[in-house]
Amino acid sequence: MSPVGDAAVADLQPRNLMEPVAPTARNPRMPSQLAPSAPGRILVVDDDRRMASQRAEWLCSLGWHASAAGSAAEAGRAPGREAAVACLVDAQLPDDGGRSVAAAIRAASPAAAIVALVPSSAAEPDWADAAVMTPARDDDLLDAIARGRIAAERRQVTTTAAGTPQGMIGGHPALLQVLDIAGRVARTPAAVLITGESGTGKSLLARAIHAASGRAGRFVEVACGSLAEPLLESELFGHVAGAFTGATADRDGRFQQADGGTIFLDEIATASPALQVKLLRVLQEMEFEPVGGSQTRAVDARLILATNEDLATAVAEGRFREDLFWRIHVVTIEMPPLRERPDDIPLLADHFRAAAAARAGREVSGFTPAATAALLRHAWPGNVRELRHAVERAVYLGRDRLVEVGDLPATVLAPAASGRPGGPQAGSGLKEKLAMPERQLIIDALERAGWRRDMAARSLGINRTTLYKKLKRLGLDLAELQTAR
């Protein structure tokens, strides 16, 4: 079999892994997306056996099949360990027991999420998919489980013997060329710049390159556009105690966490001029000082960057440093938009259908001819991400075994978004044409900000009131959007 012949890019951004449930008396503020859509098994491991049992009983009250273990050895004998979807592990188990539990769970169930229960005085362990500080509130614990399941899903990217990213569907020449370049560059130390429109799968490709690189360290992702500059500098380089108000202890930055692995800087075009100067030094010498510190730290991290902007234009306009541009412009891979590979749309849609049906716990065997035709007519300005969301919504809200055209979102069926891939029909009004990219920009910003409207507004360069007005004008319902995602 060809190493890329069965591949198709599937954008693995965070998904709605769990369906809504009514708030409970114990947890009236529980996020609606955090209840299981189908019963799954969770193992709770804590050397405080009473605490482990209490957490397991609470998870059972929410619909999970949860069991407790008081040690790493007991966890290894736990019934149903092979079917676990998540494992909550006390990070302070004796003899590095947390690492042993994580290894055993992953060996039996590679897709299981490992969530570390970490005392406030301890650092997040490198063997966990997510962590939560203890004592933890109920909603914080559920949020950590959700984050862990998303991280575990992303961890499932594998490689062929030849080192080419696998776990992808479709065979359009533009996609195969991307995979070929990624496979050849994966084991080199070269910096990689991934370009392309929002939603084309840049993050997934970056993870696939890391998985094929052979580097033993972590894959660390930073969304540069989601944080203000002072926070981003601390996020990247860490800080020392007393560096600023609230910095009560030393904290490693993302570059330090990526030592021996890969650091992925998404939305690199949003970096401020001051931060670009600091990034240039780090990328040239792989050395930096934490915020407020004087001790130089050195790291060995593979660099992958992504942007949906034309950096050459940004350089010409003075918004991006030319020396930094040439430093990161070693190998550039452009992700093709979905409209340029329409033959892959039915394959991707079927992939997302099967995954969504499994999460929803219902049988959905395919699409009606009319639904397939509608998918092929749409221009997909949001690319693979938009297709995934449209299919998931259709599966969650549909009533029959086949996805009907009426199950698809109105944006997919609207005249302004129809026509052969490549853009709206000529008859569409200018107002409708302009609204589509604005709508997608706002949705993308909200997703990156974890649906926090204040953070999304800052990343868009507007205030929260303006964002509210835009949401109302575009007919965007946040509750409906979050449920569909």
**Residue 23 and residue 29 in contact, taking contact as beta carbons nearer than 8 Å:** yes
Q: What's the number of domains the chain is made of?
A: 3
- Given a cut of 80, whether residue 16 has pLDDT beyond it is no
Q: What is the CATH number of the domain that holds 391?
A: 1.10.8.60
Does residue 365 lie in a domain region?
Answer: yes
Rg of the Cα atoms in the chain: 23
CA proximity to 380, closest of 408, 342, 428, 431: 342
Distance, in Å, from the CA atom of 324 to the CA atom of 455, rounded to the nearest integer, reads 27
Q: Which residues pair with 165 in a beta bridge?
A: 159
One domain for residues 212 and 228: yes
CB atoms within 10 A of CB 158: 12
- Given a cut of 50, whether residue 164 has pLDDT beyond it is no
One domain for residues 128 and 189: no
Angle at 107 between CA 110 and CA 7, to 5 degrees: 35
**Residue 81 and residue 105 in contact, taking contact as beta carbons nearer than 8 Å:** yes
Domain end (from 336, 359, 377): 336
Does residue 466 lie in a domain region?
Answer: yes
Does residue 22 lie in a domain region?
Answer: no
Q: What is the CATH number of the domain that holds 246?
A: 3.40.50.300
Residue 345 zone, left/alpha/beta (φ > 0; ψ -120 to 50; rest): alpha
pLDDT for 376-405, tens place per residue? 889 999 999 999 999 999 999 988 889 998
Angle at 271 between CA 197 and CA 201, to 5 degrees: 25
One domain for residues 432 and 352: yes
Does residue 328 lie in a domain region?
Answer: yes
One domain for residues 177 and 307: yes
One domain for residues 322 and 346: no
Q: What is the CATH number of the domain that holds 80?
A: 3.40.50.2300
- Given a cut of 50, whether residue 12 has pLDDT beyond it is no
One domain for residues 408 and 356: yes
Q: Which residues pair with 115 in a beta bridge?
A: 88, 130
Supply the pLDDT for residue 171: 67
Does residue 452 lie in a domain region?
Answer: yes
Lowest-pLDDT choice from 14-28, 43-57, 90-104, 241-255:
14-28
pLDDT for 115-156, tens place per residue? 999 887 777 787 888 888 888 888 888 888 888 887 776 655
CB atoms within 10 A of CB 80: 13
**Residue 149 and residue 114 in contact, taking contact as beta carbons nearer than 8 Å:** no
Local confidence band at 480 (pLDDT 50, 70, 90 cut-offs): low
Q: What is the largest CA-CA distance in the chain?
A: 69
Distance of CA 482 to the CA centre of its chain: 15
Does residue 14 lie in a domain region?
Answer: no
Strands 287-288 and 262-266: unpaired
Structural domain boundaries, residue 104: 39-154
Q: Which residues pair with 67 in a beta bridge?
A: 43
Q: Is 156 helix (H, G, I), strand (E, B) or coil?
A: coil
One domain for residues 183 and 316: yes
pLDDT for 417-450, tens place per residue? 333 333 333 334 444 445 556 777 788 788 777 7
- Helices 383-397 & 369-377 angle (0-180, nearest 10): 150
**Residue 427 and residue 415 in contact, taking contact as beta carbons nearer than 8 Å:** yes
One domain for residues 296 and 377: no
pLDDT for 174-226, tens place per residue? 888 888 898 889 989 889 999 999 889 898 899 889 988 888 888 988 888 76
Over residues 97-104, the mean pLDDT reads 77
Angle at 219 between CA 216 and CA 220, to 5 degrees: 140
Residue with token string 């004998």: 77
Supply the pLDDT for residue 425: 39
Domain end (from 336, 371, 389): 336
One domain for residues 325 and 284: yes
Distance, in Å, from the CA atom of 210 to the CA atom of 261, rounded to the nearest integer, reads 8
One domain for residues 78 and 127: yes
Q: Return the structure tokens found at 456.
A: 């999304």
One domain for residues 267 and 391: no
Does residue 415 lie in a domain region?
Answer: yes
CB atoms within 10 A of CB 84: 24
One domain for residues 228 and 314: yes
Domain end (from 154, 189, 220): 154
Does residue 24 lie in a domain region?
Answer: no
